[in-house]
């Protein structure tokens, strides 16, 4: 029976879970993992599948998808036991900047802080895990509710450190559409400010 070709779905787990047509790109997981790179920049034309590939990486590695090997059964990455054992065993932070299209620096910075605060809310269980010092607990609460522009640049670094301590594994950080706010900054004349903040 022919599978449905679903248009516009960029969520790997939904495509696989609902059995939509999918071209197997999971060999990219092995290729990327075995490259040993600390940082990878994926540049491709628009509509090339970057977001779906990042969703695939998140679904494969993230502890949030532990015991969801069924999503990869029948795909090339599932042929090797090494990778079957790896599925769902890493802390993954995934951020998309796709909807940050603001006309000025202040609004852009505020929207980025909102994204980061949502991340801290998602991982609020870390505060009760006994891995944070008293000062870190206070910092964590501040990042959840009232992150300042000065604190934001270190927020991702700190959260990845907390997750590393909790899981005992380096954190995989996936950033999608990072260039969207940068493009808006260029068009609206606040490029230098946003480049400095993003660095």
pLDDT 10s digits, 55-113? 999 999 999 999 999 999 999 999 999 999 999 999 999 999 999 999 999 999 999 99
Question: pLDDT (tens digit, 9 = 90+) per residue, 103-137?
Answer: 999 999 999 999 999 999 999 999 999 999 999 99
φ and ψ at residue 92, rounded to 5 degrees: -130, 130
Q: Where are the alpha helices (DSSP H) in the chain?
A: 12-17, 27-35, 50-61, 81-86, 105-122, 134-145, 152-167, 179-188, 191-198
Within 8 A by CB and 6+ apart from 11, the residues are: 52, 55
Answer whether residue 150 shows pLDDT above 80. yes
Segment 43-51 mean pLDDT: 77
Predicted local confidence at residue 44, as pLDDT: 72
How far is residue 98's CA from residue 116's CA, in Å, rounded to a whole number? 14
- Supply the mean pLDDT for the chain: 93
The reported pLDDT for the residue numbered 9 is 82
pLDDT for residue 6 is more than 80: no
| pLDDT for 1 | 59
Helix (H) or strand (E) holding 103: none
């Amino acid at each position: 029976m022919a599978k449905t070709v679903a248009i516009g779905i960029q969520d790997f787990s939904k495509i696989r879970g609902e059995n939509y047509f999918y071209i197997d790109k999971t060999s990219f997981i092995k290729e990327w993992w075995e490259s040993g790179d600390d940082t990878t920049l994926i540049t491709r034309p628009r509509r090339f599948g970057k977001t779906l590939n990042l969703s695939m990486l998140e679904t494969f590695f993230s502890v949030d998808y532990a015991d969801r090997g069924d999503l990869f059964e029948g795909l090339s990455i599932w042929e090797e036991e090494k990778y079957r054992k790896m599925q769902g065993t890493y802390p993954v932070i995934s951020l998309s900047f796709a909807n940050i299209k603001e006309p000025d620096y202040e609004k852009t910075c505020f929207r980025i802080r909102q994204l980061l605060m949502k991340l801290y809310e998602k991982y609020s269980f870390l505060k009760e895990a006994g891995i944070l010092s008293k000062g870190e607990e206070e910092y964590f609460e501040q990042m959840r509710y009232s992150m300042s522009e000065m604190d934001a640049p270190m927020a991702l670094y700190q959260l990845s450190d907390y997750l590393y301590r909790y899981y005992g594994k380096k954190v995989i950080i996936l950033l999608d559409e990072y260039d969207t706010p940068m493009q808006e900054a260029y068009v609206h004349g606040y490029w230098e400010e946003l480049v400095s903040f993003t660095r």
